[in-house]
Amino acid sequence: MRTYDFSPLYRSAVGFDRLANLLESAARTSQEGGYPPYNIETTGENAYRIEIAVAGFTPDELNIEVKENLLTVSGRKTANDDGAAQKTYLHRGLAERDFERRFQLADYVIVTDANLSNGLLSIALKRELPEALKPRRIEIGTGPALIEGEAKAA
């Protein structure tokens, strides 16, 4: 497991702290365990979907939160004690442990929908640029029309 030191970037670059924080976060995330597994896909020009395998979790046990471009998905498993005798497993392959997954979102990416179906939590994302940032065409005007046969006064 390799650790990266981004302190030289902080010393020599001004205003790039967010980039350095993203790099540190990515390095930290890649070192974490792979539970639960997930997919990130593009579904359109400015549309994305994150699918997270959350078998055994109910919607009440899952939480999705967005704060300052950070999407956090967490699962807290409630006790499965229903008053019956304890279950005896011969093999237990379904991980029903608590988790927290974080995804750094680009500017202007918003969560538009979330659904839980067949053990997959699907989170739809869309990039919505404000009108002020969208490209716009600027009309090019021409100078005042000259009357035919008259020269410009100098």
pLDDT in tens, 16-38: 566 666 666 666 655 456 889 99
Tell me what pLDDT residue 93 has.
Answer: 80
Q: Are residues 50 and 22 in the same domain?
A: no
Q: What is the pLDDT of residues 124-134, one digit of tens each?
A: 999 988 888 77
Q: Are residues 20 and 58 in the same domain?
A: no
Q: Are residues 58 and 123 in the same domain?
A: yes
Q: Which range, of 30-34, 52-56, 72-76, 130-134, averages the lowest pLDDT? A: 30-34
Q: Are residues 7 and 71 in the same domain?
A: no
Range of the domain at 7: 1-32
114 touches 50 (CB < 8 A): no
Q: Are residues 57 and 101 in the same domain?
A: yes
pLDDT at 84 > cutoff 50: no
pLDDT at 85 > cutoff 80: no
Q: Are residues 11 and 75 in the same domain?
A: no
* Within a domain: 23: yes
Higher-confidence position of 47 and 147: 47
* Within a domain: 73: yes
Structural domain count of the chain: 2
Tell me what pLDDT residue 134 has.
Answer: 77
Q: Are residues 19 and 68 in the same domain?
A: no
* Within a domain: 146: no
Distance (Å, whole) CA 125 – CA 110: 6
Q: Which residues pair with 123 in a beta bridge?
A: 50, 114
| Enclosing H/E stretch for 80 | none
50 touches 125 (CB < 8 A): yes
* Within a domain: 42: yes
Q: Are residues 67 and 124 in the same domain?
A: yes
Average pLDDT value over all residues in the chain: 80
Distance (Å, whole) CA 63 – CA 72: 8
In one-letter notation, the amino acid at residue 44 is G
Q: Are residues 41 and 61 in the same domain?
A: yes
Tell me what pLDDT residue 77 has.
Answer: 84
